[in-house]
Structure formats: C-alpha cells, structure tokens
Amino acid sequence: MNMWLVTGGAGFIGSNIVEELIKMGEKVRIIDNFSAGKIENLSDFQDKIEIIKGDIRNYDDIRKAAKDATYVLHQAAMRSVPKSVDDPRGANDNNITGTLNVLMASKENGVKKLVYASSSSVYGDCKVFPQKESLCPSPISPYAVSKLAAEHYCVMFSKTFGLPTTSLRYFNVFGPKQPPESMYSAVIPKFIELALNKKPIEVHWDGKQTRDFTYVKNVVDANIMAALSSKADGKVYNIACQSTISLLDIIGLLEKFLGYKLERKFMPKRAGDVRKTWADISLIKKELGYKPKISFEEGLLKTLEWFKNNRG
C-alpha cells in the first residue's frame, strides 16, 4: 500500500490534505514540530494516522519520517511574510535547509514523488498580470526568497538526483483550520474572527490591494493530482482561482453573509506586502487537466460556517 508523508501535517493546509487522504482510504504519516500546527487540527482522524513530532531542520527526524514513504507532500515551513522580515534566519533554516533535508531524505528512501508547497510570493511586486510561471521571479521578502530557493532545489533534485518533484505556487490559501489568533495570521481568518465578534476590521494599507485567494480544497486537489501524475515531474505550477479580490471586497461579502455592517479600521502598510497577485493557471489546466472546483465566494461562505461552528 502507498504511504503518504505530509510534512507540516498538523498545520492549516497539511491537515486539510491529511483529511482528504484519509477519506480516500490512504495510509498517512505526518511530521510536524508543532511550532504553528495544532493537534486539534487532526483530532477527527488522529487514530488513523501516524504522527511524528519532529523537525525538518534535523536530518535524523526527517530521515525516520521518510522511511517507506511513497509520496511526500512537503508543507512544513515558516509561513508568514512579516514573520520572515522579523526573523530572516528562521525563514532560511526552516524553509531552505529544511526543504533540502526533506529532499535528501526522500531521495535516500526511494520516494516516488515529492510535491512542494511553493508560493505566489516568489513573483514579488511584479507588474505583469496575470502572473505566469515563465515570469522572472523577484522576491521582496525573506519568506519569498526562501520559498524560491527551495523551489529551485526541488526542480534541481528532479533533474540531477532523479527524485521526481513538482512545485505548486499557492496563491493566498484560505479555509477551515486557518488560525486567526497570531499577529502573523493570514487576513481572511483574522477578518472572520473580528467580524463574528463585531469588532472593527483592521485593514493594513488602503484595503484595495488584491489577492488571488484560493480555497484550501483546490490546493489539496492539486497536491494529490501532482503527486499521481508523472507529467508533472520537474514542473512548477501556479495554484489559484484566477480572481482578484480586494480586502474591502472580503469585508463587503462578510457583511452580506452576516447581515450586519462592519467597522473598518485602517492601519499602515506592512513591510514585504505586495499590491496585487493574480495567477495564470493555464499551464496546469493544459498539462494536468486541473480545475479549481470551489470559487472564492463559495469558499468564503464555507470558511465562515466553519468558524461559526468551531470557534467559541
């Protein structure tokens, strides 16, 4: 039977991937150092998976975790742009050295395919839209540099070390289990939490910056599809919904769903923030037949419902 190793499996995206693999009847192991991930994210299927508390910066940990793995879905990382500005070395260690360790351990254990969670942040403050994989990346934060360097490692391992890899550049993922509570949290869970508590919504910059927000199920599907397709070997693909949603649009939609007005509190722009992300996903559509199934609005409603039911 195939065994799937999900690094960062207790995190937001990782735990959503694990949930889907369990629904498919697959054998799953995770490795997570629980720096950001939570055991509660796995509570519905904890007895069906193997959990390794370990750190991808430590080669022995990841080597043990990769033993007998057929597929590796590599999600573990220090995730936030502002956090990486505060701690560039942490981003480097977790995201570059950590990924190199995951690649080496996968190679050593004869893994069939590794899928890497890259990021739209590699495009930087690019002024060419929609963003295609062929554009020259120009990262503007330590996080983006680290995600790009690790992506290069993945492509190189496919070419030089014979370990098939696919890198997926996720565009602003959102959905159930995304944490709202940290100063480094992503915008949608933060907005939802404030909106549900009828508190002013803190908007950095003017709120007109736009993102190609992507519901997490679309990212989960892309990971599984890329792992199972040899056509994706050595490739880099954008994963997005091809929508441009501003922060003010999100607040407007939340007002529509909740049926009450929300106060906007404007704050300064954060270092490393870009004005716009907007993906071209024609490459993965053409090569793998991928299609995002859940639209932004449907995904936002599902996420709001999850927060209503799961956070007190």
Positions marked catalytic = 143
Which of 5, 11, 235, 290: binder of ligand NAD (CB under 6 A)?
11
Exposed e or buried b for every residue in 116-148, given b needs 16+ CB within 10 A? bbbbbbbbbebeebbbebeeebebbbbbbbbbb
Is 243 one of the binding residues for ligand NAD (CB under 6 A)? no
- Which of residues 7 and 229 has its CB atom nearest to ligand NAD in the complex? 7
Query: Taking the complex as a whole, how short is the minimal distance between the CB of residue 255 and ligand NAD, in angstroms?
Result: 23
Query: Taking the complex as a whole, how short is the minimal distance between the CB of residue 186 and ligand NAD, in angstroms?
Result: 6
Residues within window 33-52 making contact with ligand NAD, judged by CB under 6 A: 33-37
Is 117 one of the binding residues for ligand NAD (CB under 6 A)? yes
Is 187 one of the binding residues for ligand NAD (CB under 6 A)? no
Sign of the alpha-carbon dihedral angle for 172, 203, 78, 180: negative
Contact 254, 192 (CB under 8 A): yes
Residue 114 pairs in a beta bridge with: 72, 165
Which of 4, 5, 6, 13: binder of ligand NAD (CB under 6 A)?
13
Sign of the alpha-carbon dihedral angle for 225, 278, 146, 18: negative
Is 240 one of the binding residues for ligand NAD (CB under 6 A)? no
Is 277 one of the binding residues for ligand NAD (CB under 6 A)? no
Total residues interacting with ligand NAD, rule: CB under 6 A: 30
Which of 163, 173, 226, 240: binder of ligand NAD (CB under 6 A)?
173
Contact 36, 104 (CB under 8 A): no
Of 141, 144, 162, 165, the closest CA to residue 85 belongs to 141
Is 142 one of the binding residues for ligand NAD (CB under 6 A)? no
Of 148, 151, 74, the closest CA to residue 105 belongs to 74
Exposed e or buried b for every residue in 97-112, given b needs 16+ CB within 10 A? bbbbbbbbbbeebebe
Is 77 one of the binding residues for ligand NAD (CB under 6 A)? yes
- Which of residues 164 and 175 has its CB atom nearest to ligand NAD in the complex? 175
Is 32 one of the binding residues for ligand NAD (CB under 6 A)? yes
- CB-neighbour burial class of residue 230 (10 A; exposed 0-12, middle 13-18, buried 19+): exposed
Query: Taking the complex as a whole, how short is the minimal distance between the CB of residue 47 and ligand NAD, in angstroms?
Result: 19
Using CB under 6 A, list all residues that contact ligand NAD: 8, 10-14, 31-37, 55-57, 75-79, 94, 98, 117, 119, 147, 170, 172-173, 186
